[in-house]
Amino acid sequence: MQKKFSSNRYDPQGAVRDDVSRRHFIKGVIACGTVAGAAGLMTGCSDSGDGGSAPAGSAERLISINVNGMSRNVDVMPNETLAHTLRNKLGLTGTKLGCDRGSCGACTVMIDGTTVNSCSILTHTVRNANVVTVEGVGGGNGELHPVQTAMIEELAPQCGYCTPGQVVSGVALLQRNPNPTREEVRHALAGNLCRCGAYNNYVNAIVKAAGSA
Amino acid sequence: MADYNLIGKDFTPQDVRPKVTGTGKYSEDFKKDGMCYMKMLLCPMPSANVTNLDASEALAMPGVLGVLTADEVPAVDEPGYPMLTNKPRQLGMPICAIAAETESIAAEALERIRVAYEPQPFVLDPLESLYPGGPNALDSGNVTGGGEGNPPIHTRKWTARDFAEAGEDRLPMGEAPVEWSVGDVEAAFAEAALVIDEPFVTASSTHQALEPRSVLAYWENGKCFIHGSSQSQSWMMPGLARMMDVSLDDIVYIAEYCGGGFGAKASPYPIQGMAGYMAKKIGRPVMMRVTRAEEYHLGGTRPGFQGQVKLGFNANGKMIAADLYIVQSGGPNRGSGDYSSAAGALALVYTPTNMRFRGAAVVTNKPWHVSQRGPGQNQLATVVEPLMDRAAKELGIDRVAIRDLNAPEADVVFTESQSTVTSMYLKEAYKLGAEKFNWEEKKAMSGQRNGSKVIGVGVGSAYHSAGSNGFDGLISIRPDGKLYVHSGVGNLGTYSYAGTCRAAAEVLGCSWENTVVLRGDSRHGLPWTLAQFGSNSTFTNTRTNFVAATKAKEMLQRLAAMDLGGEPGDYEVANEAVTNTSDSSKTMTFAQAGQRAIELGGEWDGTEYPDNLNDVTKAALKNVTGSGLVATAKDELFKEGSVPGMAAAFCMIELDTDTGKYEILEMHSIADCGTVLHPQGLQQQLRGGAVMGIGEAALDRMIYDPQNGLCATVGLYQTKPPSILDVPTLIETDAVNQPDPQNPFGVKGIGEPAMGCAASALLSAISDATGTYFNRTPVDPDMIINALSGRPQSFTPLQVNV
Ligand code: FES
Ligand code: FES
């Protein structure tokens, strides 16, 4: 016990072995860390920003992409993610960012009918594809997709932040499999995290919509 | 039960459609002309003093608009959490912030800021801080929180003997800052037929709401506008006004949608102020998009526990003695009261006749620690429920029966403060759950093997105080003929903001179609109410809306009598009109009443109002006065005792003894939440709570490198919340549906116990399948495999951050 809780270990001036390695680390931090770049490495927050505005020396290019059935002209950076283009340049903020790292599914969109994490794909790679976001799954004139209607009826969303991604995953599933089992629905939503835990209700809604889609 | 038009019925809250269409706006979805971006520089080590900060190179970059440092924002004394600081006491604590035309420029500029750090001693394990000569996480001490005569932060060290006597396998138990007892604990242990005495650990875990806490701030005409991500609405106002050093009238707070909070977005937090100060400094709207990784440092962490619990039972299974010691791990800030709440939960849920509690809340150089769903009560459930199973087994009693035997009745008196409750139906919840789950039949399946798989069956329960009082209600009846219910409740995703507004419509006999809920933007004029935490909104705000609507009804009757003749008592209010009961030609519609109130002014249109209203409500009235008939009142209805939200869960798993993994085959969750206000909303809370509970039992934890104090859990893949494949395909729910006598509609809250009951039911099932009581959360497959194969675990009983 004495050793386990030895306080010497926590004294930066101390001389015990544990401390040597710690000072070593601290020196390492100081050596590379007088600029903040290292801060990002140590905290895990080494984000370079929005993945869409110009780092010095790169240039935007005008491209046209097909989003929700409309051809849109937009200036994009070579490193710009689709999520960024949709949210910040095309005003389609229904696509959410929960992680910006391909782990949560909040940014799910369809590209040629396949679900993709739009935070993890570059806009210039979808020039020849059809992109569908949550804003585009319903009919025109604000008509809802049956998945959306069923989600309202089942009170599926809680905070709603994962909902657009769940909607898109559900719609994509029904497009390729109009009559999925509960188990198939679960697997289709496996990439869409919901911290509120509304999973059962999302499944209920998609199963219900399958009957009417 | 009373026959209601709206209470107890399903409806579609107004924010559901925008959520499924993607039109609902969360803070990061807003744009403002001239908007620029801000990013924070975070401390790269667990404790340091900044000796020099040179931003000149960053400021010289094209597109950089300004830097904000600790000297330019309000200083905060320990153990408060600073907005920006030169004495960061946590990995990831913000030191300064940069604003630039684009976020990429801001990020690049951050890398050009030169900071000299002087590393400081740090501590991650509370026991190390309590050891004689051990480091303090803060300059001002190592222990925060309650205890008579204790300052908010002070230094406390135990003796080497305290540690030596405990050894590795017991919690060292030095002098406690907080201590209370009821009865004679020692004598009761001496009499007990069974004594269980175990150390335990519950991990610090992170809230990880799916929406990071981005913020947009700007100033217009001297007013500070903040678009924030918060669970609460009106509760935010005084804190933000103080933070920004402006009057209540000069804060505009917009939070129509919030992508989850779970306790970590309940109250104003420093990042919101930081954006406000930067916006003021550079004269531009400032957007700060907070990243997922930043959320792990700044987004809140549930305090972990190291503890020792000793329980004594008589031969019948009654808990006659409980001795609980909790060392709570906090961040570098004033902690939450989890440890005390845990003690209260033990005292209430198991009604030990004799009990002692001791506790210490210790600060560490880990992230900001704050209440998370069921703060204290839910950790306690995961600690004690498996031990109830053990007691049942050793005494040869059924596991539901032992819980039922120890469960409180409505006349329970608990803890040293002799608390009482407003209602109590936990026994009924066990009974209903056992029926629905078919406990007897399932119990017979326990231990059944199929190859490497084995069935485990479990039961668990949890409590949280779920209601408050003393807040304000505000409604207006306008010339458009509609009833406007002003809701100061936030939008956490529980829909209780809407459900509670139905109370006002119910009182006034108004249809839901003609009821408008105003919320989410302080410019609507939103009354003072409690934060949306602690499962309180349902109880608290049905009361506020009841008193305001009752007042409106009385005003309508008086107004009609004044204009149409007769006595107020001759009139009834229904169908959006006030009508003479014996002469239906004497009637005034809501539209006419609203118009007439505006003409009359004074007490009728909000110009005059009761003096006992909170300042936030008084400020809100400035936006409402003159809009129609305005009724506002403070809830002074009778309330005595804690409002207990209770829940019981039952669970069956199939555990693979080769892999330590399991599938949850069935889960039932039963609520004692009073009268059910909103059936679909209740079901959602029970299911969502169960999912989060599965996370608490099996997945959620923060991990630190003990040598360098770095955090290993800064991504969703490193501390993964339950995915759809980790949870049952359908969680069954039900409620005992018995009214609470201290709420006009009998309702009370449930959101938090919904989590703890499921977490403990799962642990109970794991113990049933494995024959092991782990005394630790989360329980992962490695631990299960070690236990099944008789290998020691990879950590000592009280080791943390692993
Ligand atoms: S934001 Fe794209 S997966 Fe999380
Ligand atoms: S509804 Fe909140 S994250 Fe899914």
Residue B111 in contact with partner chain A when CB distance is under 8 A = yes
Q: State residue A51's pLDDT score.
A: 55
Residue B547 CA: distances (Å) to CA of B104, B233, B481, B516, B556: 52, 20, 21, 18, 14
Residue B493 in contact with partner chain A when CB distance is under 8 A = yes
Q: State residue A12's pLDDT score.
A: 33
What's the total number of domains in chain A? 2
Of A136, A158, A193, which residue sits at a domain end?
A136
Q: Residue A26 above 50 pLDDT?
A: no
- Residue B91 Cα, gap to closest chain A Cα (Å): 7
C-alpha span between B658 and B677 (Å, rounded): 45
**Where does CATH 3.30.365.10 sit in chain B?**
377-467+641-788, 470-634
For residue B101, the CA-to-ligand 1 centroid distance in Å is 24
On the question of a cis peptide bond just before residue B778, with omega within 30 degrees of 0, the verdict is yes
The residue assigned the tokens 């996480």 is B137
Query: What's the start-to-end Cα distance of chain B, in Å?
Result: 51
The Cβ-side half-sphere exposure at B524, using a 13 Å CA radius, reads: 24
Per-run averaged pLDDT (10 residues), chain B, 802 residues = 90 98 98 98 98 98 98 95 97 98 96 97 98 97 88 95 96 96 98 98 97 98 98 98 97 98 96 98 98 96 98 98 97 91 98 98 96 98 98 98 98 97 98 98 98 98 97 98 98 96 98 98 98 95 98 98 98 98 98 98 98 98 98 98 98 98 98 98 98 98 95 95 97 98 98 98 98 97 97 96 92
Q: Which fold has domain B18-120+211-259+265-298?
A: Aldehyde Oxidoreductase; domain 3 (3.90.1170)
Q: Which ligand is nearest to the CA of B684?
A: 2
Are residues A169 and A81 part of one domain?
no
At A35, is the pLDDT very low, low, confident or very high (cuts 50, 70, 90)?
Answer: very low
Identify whether A14 is part of a domain: yes
Q: What does the block give as tokens for B217?
A: 């701030």
ipTM of the complex: 0.97
Q: Chain B, 144-173: which have a CB under 8 Å from a chain A CB?
A: 160, 163-164, 166-168
CB of A196 closer than 6 angstroms to any ligand 2 atom: yes
At A30, is the pLDDT very low, low, confident or very high (cuts 50, 70, 90)?
Answer: very low
Q: What is the mean pLDDT of residues A84-105?
A: 97
CATH of B470-634, one of 3.20.20.70, 3.40.710.10, 3.30.365.10, 1.20.58.2240: 3.30.365.10
CB B400 within 8 A of CB B439: yes
Cβ contact, residue pair B711, A148, below 8 Å:
no
Sign for the CA dihedral angle at B162, B375, B203, B780 comes to: positive
C-alpha span between B361 and B141 (Å, rounded): 11
Nearest to B259 among A29, A33, A161 (CB): A161
Cβ contact, residue pair B44, A38, below 8 Å:
yes
Domain coverage including residue A19: 3-43+58-136
Residue B90: CB atoms within 10 Å: 30
Q: State residue B662's pLDDT score.
A: 98
CB B690 within 8 A of CB B763: no
Which residues on adjacent β-strands are paired with residue B138?
Answer: B141
For helices B377-395 and B338-349, angle between their N-to-C axes, nearest 10 degrees: 40
The Cβ-side half-sphere exposure at B250, using a 13 Å CA radius, reads: 15
C-alpha span between B15 and B495 (Å, rounded): 9
Of A105, A136, A167, which residue sits at a domain end?
A136
Amino acid occupying residue B258: C
For residue B228, the CA-to-ligand 1 centroid distance in Å is 21
Of A118, A136, A154, which residue sits at a domain end?
A136
For residue A168, the CA-to-ligand 1 centroid distance in Å is 13
Q: A29-33, A80-84, A176-180, B422-426: lowest mean pLDDT where?
A: A29-33
Look up the CATH number of the domain holding residue A168.
1.10.150.120
**Beta strand spans in B234-318 (E):** 251-254, 286-288, 301-302, 304-313
Contact list, B683 vs chain A (CB under 8 Å): 155, 201
C-alpha span between B69 and B72 (Å, rounded): 6
C-alpha span between B422 and B405 (Å, rounded): 20
Are residues A115 and A208 part of one domain?
no
Are residues A97 and A15 part of one domain?
yes
Nearest to A49 among B107, B724, B727 (CB): B107
Q: What does the block give as tokens for B189?
A: 């242990």
C-alpha span between A133 and A108 (Å, rounded): 8
CB B325 within 8 A of CB B291: no
CB B73 within 8 A of CB B245: no
Q: State residue A47's pLDDT score.
A: 61
Look up the CATH number of the domain holding residue A113.
3.10.20.30
CB B329 within 8 A of CB B800: yes
If one compares A10 and B646, the residue with the highest pLDDT of the two is B646
B32 Cβ contact list (under 8 Å, min separation 6): B216, B218, B285, B287
CB B650 within 8 A of CB B434: yes
Nearest to B717 among A11, A38, A103 (CB): A103
Q: What angle do CA B750, B494, B549 make, to 5 degrees?
A: 90
The 3-class secondary structure across B750-783, one letter per residue, is: CCCHHHHHHHHHHHHHHHHHHCCCCCEECCCHHH
Sheet holding B453-465, edge to edge: B449-450, B453-465, B644-656, B662-672, B731-735
Mutate to test the interface with B, among A88, A107, A200, A201 (most CBs of B within 10 A): A200
Are residues A120 and A33 part of one domain?
yes
Nearest to B691 among A54, A153, A197 (CB): A197
Are residues A114 and A70 part of one domain?
yes
Q: What angle do CA B370, B371, B372 make, to 5 degrees?
A: 115
Q: What does the block give as tokens for B114?
A: 């030169």
CB B255 within 8 A of CB B236: yes
Q: State residue A41's pLDDT score.
A: 80
At A38, is the pLDDT very low, low, confident or very high (cuts 50, 70, 90)?
Answer: low
CB B132 within 8 A of CB B159: yes
Q: What is the mean pLDDT of residues A14-40?
A: 41
C-alpha span between B628 and B698 (Å, rounded): 54
CATH of B377-467+641-788, one of 3.40.50.360, 3.30.365.10, 3.30.70.2190, 3.20.20.70: 3.30.365.10
Q: Indicate the top mutation candidate among A86, A104, A115 to test ligand 1's pocket, ranked by most ligand atoms within 8 A of CB.
A: A104
For residue B680, the CA-to-ligand 2 centroid distance in Å is 16
Are residues A119 and A95 part of one domain?
yes
Q: State residue B17's pLDDT score.
A: 98
For residue A156, the CA-to-ligand 2 centroid distance in Å is 9
C-alpha span between B391 and B196 (Å, rounded): 8
Residue B52: CB atoms within 10 Å: 11
**What is the pairing mode between strands A130-132 and A61-67?**
parallel
Q: State residue A15's pLDDT score.
A: 33
Residue B442: CB atoms within 10 Å: 21
Are residues A195 and A129 part of one domain?
no
CB of A194 closer than 6 angstroms to any ligand 2 atom: yes
Q: Residue A23 above 80 pLDDT?
A: no
Identify whether A151 is part of a domain: yes
- Residue A68 Cα, gap to closest chain B Cα (Å): 13
Burial class (CB in 10 A: 0-12, 13-18, 19+), B793: middle
At A139, is the pLDDT very low, low, confident or very high (cuts 50, 70, 90)?
Answer: confident
